[in-house]
C-alpha cells in the first residue's frame, strides 16, 4: 500500500523521499548547454507534482512510459514557491507493489447512491419517449459501468473517477431548482439533456491507468460520440417522434453554448440555453472547489489559490482572508435530500 502521497510532500521539504507515483507527463529535454534532462509530472489520487531528473536522464527515460507507475527516489525542493521533486533515480513499479486506487483521484460520493438517484430521475419523467430513452442509456449493461466510473474531464472540472456521474447528478438538481423559477421550461426535456449531455465522455476519455483522451476521443470528441449513441437509442424506440428527436439532439449539440467552445450549433431553445448555463455553473463551482481544496491540502501560506487554468484566475480563500472558520458543507450525498418531500415542478409536454 502506498505510504507517501503528493499531499504529504510540502511537509517533506529538503528531505529525501522514496515513493510511488503515476507518470502523467514525460518529456526528455536538453539544457542550454545541450545536456539531456527528464521533465516529469507525477501524481496520485491527492494531486500532482513537477519533477526533474538531471543525471542519467537518457537511460532512465528508456525504462518507463507515460501512464506507468514508477518508484522514485529524490529530494523534495521548493522551486519558485512551489514544491518540486529532484529525482535521483527511478524505475517502473512492479504490479504487486501498487494499488491502482492510490493513483487516480476518486469521487467522495457514494457512486451507487448517485446512480440510483439518476434512475429515479429517469423513471420520474412523464414523457414516455424521453423516459424510455434515458432508461435505455442508464440500464444498458455496457454503458452503466462506464457511466459510474468516467471522469467529468481530463483536467478542467470533475477530473476524477466518478466525476461525470457526480456532475450529472448535481446538474439534475440544479435543473429542478431552476424549473421552479421558470415554469415555462419543459422539465422533462431539460432533465433529459442534463443526464445525456456528456454521455460521449465515457468513450472520449481513458481512465484505467491515467486520465487522458482515447484515440476515438481525440478524433471525434464527446459530442459527436454521444450523438451517435443517442441516435441509435432513439431509432430503437418504437414511435419516437422525429421532432422530439431533433430537440434532444439540439440539447446535446449546443450544450457548450458557443461555436468556439466546441458546439456545432448555439442554443436556440429555452431548455438548451438553460442547460448551457447550468452546466457552466456546475463545472466552474467544481473548479473553484478543487482549487480551494488543493490550497488547503498544501497548507498554502496565501489568501489566494494558485492560478486556475479553467477559471483563468486565482481564487480568494475567503475564510482565511476574513479569519473565519471554514464553512461546513452538507455531508456527501445530503444535498439531494433538499428535495425530499417537495413535489417536482409540473413537467411540460415536449
pLDDT in tens, 211-238: 788 899 999 999 999 999 999 999 999 9
Percentage of the chain modeled with pLDDT above 90:
61
Residue 71 confidence (pLDDT) above 80: yes
Residue 325 placed within a domain: no
Same domain membership, residue 179 and residue 98: no
Query: What are the residues facing 93 on neighbouring strands?
Result: none
Residue 314 placed within a domain: no
Q: Which of the four pLDDT bands, split at 50, 70 and 90, describes residue 69?
A: very high
**Better pLDDT: 108 or 273:** 273
CATH number at residue 268: 1.10.3210
Same domain membership, residue 139 and residue 53: no
Per-residue pLDDT, 1? 59
Residue 95 placed within a domain: yes
Average pLDDT, the chain: 89
Which residues does 240 contact at the CB level (< 8 Å), separation at least 6? Answer: 129, 132, 133, 234
- Residue ending a domain, choose from 50, 75, 102: 102
Per-residue pLDDT, 350? 46
Q: Which of 57-61, 189-193, 200-204 has the highest mean pLDDT?
A: 189-193
Per-residue pLDDT, 95? 86
Same domain membership, residue 268 and residue 121: yes
Instruction: Please state the length of the chain.
Output: 350
Residue 141 placed within a domain: yes
Q: Which of 108-112, 117-121, 234-238, 288-292 has the lowest mean pLDDT?
A: 288-292
Q: Which of the four pLDDT bands, split at 50, 70 and 90, describes residue 343?
A: very low
Q: What is the DSSP letter of 140?
A: -
Residue 173 placed within a domain: yes
Residue 299 placed within a domain: no
> Within 13 Å and on the Cβ side, how many CA atoms surround 188?
19
Same domain membership, residue 154 and residue 94: no
Per-residue pLDDT, 28? 92
Residue 324 placed within a domain: no
Same domain membership, residue 256 and residue 123: yes
Q: Which of the four pLDDT bands, split at 50, 70 and 90, describes residue 311?
A: confident
Residue 35 placed within a domain: yes
In contact, 109 and 96? CB cutoff 8 Å: no
**Sign of the alpha-carbon dihedral angle for 65, 68, 71, 73:** positive
Question: Which grid cell sits at 247?
Answer: 430537440
Same domain membership, residue 264 and residue 119: yes
CATH number at residue 22: 2.40.50.140
Residue 275 confidence (pLDDT) above 90: yes
Q: What is the DSSP letter of 93?
A: P
- Residue ending a domain, choose from 82, 102, 122: 102
Q: Which of 196-200, 306-310, 322-326 has the highest mean pLDDT?
A: 196-200
Same domain membership, residue 172 and residue 152: yes
Q: Which of 97-111, 170-184, 262-276 has the lowest mean pLDDT?
A: 97-111
Domain count, the chain: 2
**Better pLDDT: 70 or 157:** 70
Same domain membership, residue 115 and residue 98: no
Q: Which of the four pLDDT bands, split at 50, 70 and 90, describes residue 349?
A: very low
Rg (CA), the chain: 23
Structural domain boundaries, residue 45: 6-102
Q: Residue written as cell 429517469?
A: 122
Same domain membership, residue 158 and residue 17: no
Same domain membership, residue 43 and residue 24: yes
Tens digit of pLDDT for each residue in 24-63?
889 999 999 999 999 999 988 888 899 999 999 999 999 9
Which residues does 270 contact at the CB level (< 8 Å), separation at least 6? Answer: 182, 184, 185, 186
- Residue ending a domain, choose from 102, 124, 142: 102
Percentage of the chain modeled with pLDDT above 70:
92
Same domain membership, residue 73 and residue 25: yes
Same domain membership, residue 260 and residue 215: yes
Per-residue pLDDT, 210? 73
- Predicted TM-score (pTM) of the model is 0.79
Amino acid at each position: 500500500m502506498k505510504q507517501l502521497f503528493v499531499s504529504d510532500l510540502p511537509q517533506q521539504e529538503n528531505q529525501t523521499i522514496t515513493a510511488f507515483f503515476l507518470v502523467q507527463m514525460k518529456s526528455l529535454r536538453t539544457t542550454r548547454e545541450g545536456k539531456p534532462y527528464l521533465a516529469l509530472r507525477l501524481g496520485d489520487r491527492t494531486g500532482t507534482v513537477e519533477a526533474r531528473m538531471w543525471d542519467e536522464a537518457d537511460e532512465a527515460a528508456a525504462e518507463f512510459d507515460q501512464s506507468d507507475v514508477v518508484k522514485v527516489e529524490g529530494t523534495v525542493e521548493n522551486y519558485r514557491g512551489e514544491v518540486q521533486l529532484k529525482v535521483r533515480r527511478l524505475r517502473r513499479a512492479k504490479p504487486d507493489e501498487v494499488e491502482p486506487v492510490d493513483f487516480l483521484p476518486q469521487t467522495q460520493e457514494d457512486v451507487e447512491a448517485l446512480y440510483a438517484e439518476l434512475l429515479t430521475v429517469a423513471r420520474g419523467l412523464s414523457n414516455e419517449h424521453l423516459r424510455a430513452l434515458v432508461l435505455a442509456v442508464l440500464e444498458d449493461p455496457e454503458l452503466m459501468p462506464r457511466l459510474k466510473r468516467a471522469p467529468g474531464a481530463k483536467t478542467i472540472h470533475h477530473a476524477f473517477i466518478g466525476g461525470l456521474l457526480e456532475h450529472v447528478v448535481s446538474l439534475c438538481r440544479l435543473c429542478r431548482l431552476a424549473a421552479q423559477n421558470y415554469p415555462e421550461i419543459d422539465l422533462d426535456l431539460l432533465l433529459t439533456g442534463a443526464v445525456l449531455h456528456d454521455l460521449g465522455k465515457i468513450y472520449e476519455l481513458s481512465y484505467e491507468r491515467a486520465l487522458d483522451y482515447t484515440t476515438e476521443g481525440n478524433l471525434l470528441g464527446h459530442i459527436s460520440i454521444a450523438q451517435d449513441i443517442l441516435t441509435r437509442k432513439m431509432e430503437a424506440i418504437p414511435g419516437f417522434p422525429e421532432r422530439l428527436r431533433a430537440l434532444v439532439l439540439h440539447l446535446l449539440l449546443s450544450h457548450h453554448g458557443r461555436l468556439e467552445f466546441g458546439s456545432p450549433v448555439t442554443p436556440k431553445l429555452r431548455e438548451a440555453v438553460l442547460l448551457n448555463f447550468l452546466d457552466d455553473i456546475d463545472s466552474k463551482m467544481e473548479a473553484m472547489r478543487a482549487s480551494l481544496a488543493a490550497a488547503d491540502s498544501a497548507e498554502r501560506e496565501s489568501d489566494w489559490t494558485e492560478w486556475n487554468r479553467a477559471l483563468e484566475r486565482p481564487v480568494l480563500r475567503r475564510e482565511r482572508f476574513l479569519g473565519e472558520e471554514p464553512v461546513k458543507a452538507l455531508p456527501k450525498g445530503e444535498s439531494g435530500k433538499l428535495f425530499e418531500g417537495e413535489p417536482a415542478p409540473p413537467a411540460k409536454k415536449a
